[in-house]
């Protein structure tokens, strides 16, 4: 088990923007950063990172938290895995304490599969460098490809011995279980004798964006026609080839920095480009390009340059991938190599500067690419030319952005020497067809006799999300138009917002010392009692606690009340408030709600108001006012509720002597007027 001192050191050192910046292309937005959500398919950024608060929030999915929480959500790390990852990133030495049997038993299936894959990767690499067979066969092959020792180490290349069960025997001898060797596909089960899947192959470990070994690609070096040239790990709980890109771990930072990703087909293409000094390159790992792989790149950049071989097969592969990339709203360029060359061979034969110059000079926009390639096939055949134009317009129709579509239509009209109006009309037909097909598919997928209630019908529920327990209707809501009026929903929202405001202030400014106006009664020398006010210094959490205690107020929202008690206890037990340290000790539900509250205001920075010369007032500039107004507003709300109850009793019991109740209504109404003066505005009760 990782020691608490190591965990504390990790939380103190890790910078949330640096950690997330390894996975998401972040751009400055005032004092924060924003980017595309890594958890959903979106084209407008809704993902916010606050360095000052040390937390992040994804407004598209509702997820949020600190650096550790991001790694757990994004890379499916366990808590210890996330701590180890950050410790490695920041060169923090990990102190271990001995695990209990119960803790060992809690290690899950996926973690065991990761551990086996990591062991196999180290084993193959060691065999390559240190065994006679590995050096004679595997290392010789990599050297023939021109790979240096540094490159072989960087990509952890390896060799699997020709022996039937070399890896399996070694792993079992080290205490790894056969079931995990089989579930990762490293060992093929057989009743009498399990054997190695990759025997006699050079090995390419396939890593996730966070660097975990997910699976392997193995290349055979003999001329066995019955065996596949390349063999990949089978699908498993940790390896899904349609969602993985080879080289993404080494490429992610360069892709974000260069704002472009080179997409190739093979492992050696990626490695050779890296050795040539171009690191922003990935491969589709021996599978046709998929939407999930494109979205993986989209987290880092919106620009893809497809590199392909100069042969016909390479051309067809490039053309197939273009429409998928366009459909994801990304910008795509295409670059082909001379006949007989591929990215691997071309990078090996040219210097870094020559390679960079070639890529810059020969990368074409997809319209220019399709025109130049397919026009050779069409030549002077009008029918083929018409088919080519339709094909180009079909690609343009995949682009979600209307302005970008319009620009490409104009470019296509110019290149193909055809009326822009005709292309626009054809484009409209294709888009309408796509919409109709999508609607038809949706209807087919809809369950029979499914009833959908329109929540916006006149007179029905109108207070918020019907699935949200904070603002939605009660459990027994029958759908009666008069059952749940808007006023009731508004009442729920007001109290919820006040209580959320209290939590937010405590989290942001609880330890800040401010001068508050204290009001109390004092008798003068003649015995007359009058109201006196004076300024006194309190920590913000002390002022809020004393004020709520004075009014005997408990927060009505159970989650908020629990968080409130937790925060007050934390402030009383600690000299300083460290948000990372606080979040670290919270239960998951509490931590999620705390993140939601802290990041709610950051939603505004997504829209770049300051760039439009609109400068919202910073809360830190008005802490005392913020605290005082919130306390008075809550008092006003509670008093107005008491008045509403008293008035209701007057209406239900008109025959009784209600002079005392009337007197109370008058007194409370005066108190409301006093609150209005304190707040500096007229307050109208909502009860």
| Mean pLDDT of the 573-579 span | 75
Q: Do residues 67 and 16 lie in contact, with contact meaning Cβ atoms separated by under 8 Å?
A: yes
Cα dist from 138 to 98, 134, 189, whole Å? 39, 5, 26
Does residue 215 carry a pLDDT above 60? yes
Instruction: Record the tokens describing residue 482, joined without a space.
Output: 């008069």
Q: Do residues 672 and 632 lie in contact, with contact meaning Cβ atoms separated by under 8 Å?
A: no
The answer to which of 341-350, 480-489, 677-686 has the lowest mean pLDDT is 480-489
Does residue 207 carry a pLDDT above 90? yes
| Token pair 């408030």 in the structure block, residue | 577
| Mean pLDDT of the 298-311 span | 83
Does residue 685 carry a pLDDT above 80? no
| Mean pLDDT of the 480-488 span | 37
DSSP 601: G
Please report the pLDDT score of residue 430 as a whole number: 84
Residue with the bigger pLDDT between 266 and 441: it is: 266
Q: Which CATH class is domain 4-104?
A: alpha beta
Q: Band of the pLDDT at 483, cuts 50, 70, 90?
A: very low
Which part of the chain is CATH 3.90.980.10? 109-239
Does residue 276 carry a pLDDT above 80? yes
Highest mean pLDDT among 231-240, 251-260, 507-516: 231-240
Please report the pLDDT score of residue 142 as a whole number: 96
Helices 291-298 + 312-327 axis angle, to 10: 70
Instruction: Record the tokens describing residue 235, joined without a space.
Output: 């699908």
The answer to which of 495-499, 504-508, 530-534 has the lowest mean pLDDT is 530-534
Q: Could you report the per-residue pLDDT of 405-461, keeping only the tens digit for each?
A: 888 888 888 888 888 888 888 888 888 887 777 666 656 554 443 433 333 333 333
Tell me what percent of the residues of the chain surpass a pLDDT of 70: 78
Q: Do residues 392 and 370 lie in contact, with contact meaning Cβ atoms separated by under 8 Å?
A: yes
Rounded to whole angstroms, the Cα distance separating 253 from 5 reads 30
The CA dihedral of 110, 113, 114, 116, to the nearest 10 degrees, is 160
Please report the pLDDT score of residue 472 as a whole number: 40
Please report the pLDDT score of residue 679 as a whole number: 55
Helix, strand, coil abundance in the chain, percent, nearest 5 = 55, 15, 35
Q: Which residues of 458-483 are buried (b: 16+ CB within 10 A; e: fewer)?
A: eebbebbeeeeeebbbeeeeeeeeee
Pairing of strands 230-232, 201-207: unpaired
Does residue 177 carry a pLDDT above 80? yes
| Token pair 């508004």 in the structure block, residue | 490
3-state secondary structure of 511: coil
Mean confidence (pLDDT) of the chain: 79
3-state secondary structure of 174: coil
Please report the pLDDT score of residue 45 as a whole number: 86
CATH classification code of 248-434: 3.40.1360.10
Please report the pLDDT score of residue 476 as a whole number: 35
DSSP H or E run through 421: helix 420-445
Q: Do residues 58 and 64 lie in contact, with contact meaning Cβ atoms separated by under 8 Å?
A: yes
The answer to which of 16-25, 234-243, 509-518, 644-653 has the lowest mean pLDDT is 644-653
| Mean pLDDT of the 636-661 span | 73
Instruction: Record the tokens describing residue 281, joined without a space.
Output: 């390159």
Does residue 35 carry a pLDDT above 60? yes
Does residue 260 carry a pLDDT above 90? yes
| Mean pLDDT of the 601-606 span | 60
Which part of the chain is CATH 3.90.580.10? 4-104
Rounded to whole angstroms, the Cα distance separating 312 from 372 reads 14
Rounded to whole angstroms, the Cα distance separating 37 from 24 reads 8
Q: Could you report the per-residue pLDDT of 87-136, keeping only the tens digit for each?
A: 988 889 888 776 566 555 445 688 889 999 999 999 999 999 999 999 99
Pairing of strands 64-65, 55-58: antiparallel
Tell me what percent of the residues of the chain surpass a pLDDT of 90: 25
Superfamily covering domain 109-239: DNA primase, catalytic core, N-terminal domain (3.90.980.10)
Does residue 681 carry a pLDDT above 90? no
Q: Could you report the per-residue pLDDT of 361-415, keeping only the tens digit for each?
A: 999 888 888 777 766 666 677 888 888 888 888 888 888 888 888 888 888 888 8
Rounded to whole angstroms, the Cα distance separating 270 from 263 reads 9
Residue with the bigger pLDDT between 308 and 251: it is: 251
Instruction: Record the tokens describing residue 408, joined without a space.
Output: 């490409």
Does residue 568 carry a pLDDT above 70? yes
DSSP 447: P
What is the secondary structure of 93-156 as a DSSP string? Answer: PPPB-PPPHHHHHT--HHHHHHHHHHHHHHHHHHHHHHSHHIIIIIIHHHHHTT--HHHHHHTT
What's the first-to-final CA gap in the chain, in angstroms?
A: 54
Q: Do residues 164 and 194 lie in contact, with contact meaning Cβ atoms separated by under 8 Å?
A: no
Please report the pLDDT score of residue 608 as a whole number: 52
Please report the pLDDT score of residue 532 as a whole number: 67
Q: Do residues 103 and 114 lie in contact, with contact meaning Cβ atoms separated by under 8 Å?
A: no
Give the count of beta carbons closer than 10 Å to the beta carbon of residue 682: 9
Residue 448 φ/ψ, nearest 5 degrees: -60, 140
């Amino acid at each position: 088990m990782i020691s608490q001192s190591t965990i504390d050191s990790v939380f103190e050192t890790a910078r949330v923007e640096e950690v997330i910046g390894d996975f998401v292309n972040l751009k400055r937005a005032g004092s924060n950063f924003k980017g595309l959500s890594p958890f959903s398919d979106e084209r407008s950024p809704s993902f916010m990172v606050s360095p000052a608060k040390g937390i992040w929030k994804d407004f598209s999915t509702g997820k949020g938290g600190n650096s550790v929480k991001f790694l757990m959500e994004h890379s499916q790390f366990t808590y210890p895995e996330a701590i180890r990852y950050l410790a490695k990133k920041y060169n923090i030495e990990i102190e271990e304490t001995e695990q209990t049997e119960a803790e060992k038993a809690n290690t899950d299936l996926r973690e065991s599969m990761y551990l086996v894959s990591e062991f196999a990767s180290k084993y193959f690499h060691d065999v390559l460098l240190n065994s006679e067979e590995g050096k004679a066969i595997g290392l010789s092959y990599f050297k023939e490809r021109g790979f240096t020792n540094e490159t072989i180490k960087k990509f952890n290349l390896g060799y699997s011995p020709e022996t039937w069960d070399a890896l399996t025997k070694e792993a079992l001898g080290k205490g790894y279980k056969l079931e995990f060797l089989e579930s990762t596909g490293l060992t093929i089960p057989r009743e009498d004798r399990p054997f190695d899947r990759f025997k006699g192959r050079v090995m390419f470990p396939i890593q996730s964006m966070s660097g975990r070994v997910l699976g392997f690609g193995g290349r055979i070096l003999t001329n066995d026609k019955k065996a596949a040239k390349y063999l990949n790990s089978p699908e498993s709980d940790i390896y899904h080839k349609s969602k993985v890109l080879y080289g993404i771990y080494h490429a992610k930072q360069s892709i974000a920095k260069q704002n472009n990703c080179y997409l190739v087909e093979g492992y050696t293409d990626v490695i050779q480009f890296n050795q040539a000094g171009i690191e922003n390159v990935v491969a589709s790992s021996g599978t046709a390009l998929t939407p999930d792989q494109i979205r993986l790149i989209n987290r880092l950049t919106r620009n893809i340059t497809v590199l392909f071989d100069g042969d016909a097969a390479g051309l067809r592969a490039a053309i197939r991938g273009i429409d998928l990339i366009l459909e994801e709203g990304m910008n795509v360029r295409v670059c082909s190599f001379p006949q007989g060359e591929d990215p691997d061979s071309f990078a090996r034969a040219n210097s870094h500067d020559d390679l960079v110059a070639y890529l810059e000079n020969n990368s074409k926009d997809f319209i220019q690419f399709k025109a130049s390639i397919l026009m050779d096939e069409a030549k002077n055949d009008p029918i083929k030319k018409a088919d080519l134009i339709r094909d180009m317009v079909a690609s343009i129709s995949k682009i979600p952005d209307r302005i970008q579509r319009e620009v490409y239509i104009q470019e296509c009209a110019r290149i193909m020497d055809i009326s822009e109006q005709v292309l626009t009309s054809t484009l409209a037909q294709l888009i309408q067809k796509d919409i109709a097909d999508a609607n038809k598919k949706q209807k087919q997928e809809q369950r029979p006799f499914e009833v959908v209630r329109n929540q916006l019908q006149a007179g029905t529920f109108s207070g918020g999300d019907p699935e949200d327990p904070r603002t939605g209707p009660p459990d027994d809501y029958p759908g009666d138009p008069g059952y749940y009026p808007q006023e009731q929903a508004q009442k729920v929202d007001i109290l919820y917002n006040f209580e959320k405001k209290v939590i937010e202030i405590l989290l942001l400014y609880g330890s800040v010392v401010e001068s508050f106006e204290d009001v109390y009664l004092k008798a003068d020398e003649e015995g007359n009692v009058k109201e006196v006010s004076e300024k006194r210094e309190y920590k913000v959490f002390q002022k809020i606690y004393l004020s709520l205690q004075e009014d005997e107020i408990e927060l009505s929202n159970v989650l908020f009340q629990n968080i409130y008690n937790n925060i007050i206890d934390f402030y009383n037990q600690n000299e300083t408030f460290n948000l990372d340290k606080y979040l670290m000790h919270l239960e998951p539900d509490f931590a999620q709600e705390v993140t939601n509250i802290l990041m709610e205001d950051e939603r505004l920075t997504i829209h770049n108001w300051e760039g439009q010369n609109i400068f919202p007032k910073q809360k830190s500039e008005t802490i005392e006012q913020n605290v005082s107004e919130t306390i008075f507003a809550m008092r006003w709300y509670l008093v107005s509720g008491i008045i509403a109850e008293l008035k209701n009793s007057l209406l239900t019991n008109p025959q009784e002597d209600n002079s005392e109740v009337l007197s109370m209504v008058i007194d409370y109404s005066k108190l409301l007027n006093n609150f209005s003066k304190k707040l500096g505005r007229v307050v109208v009760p909502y009860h």
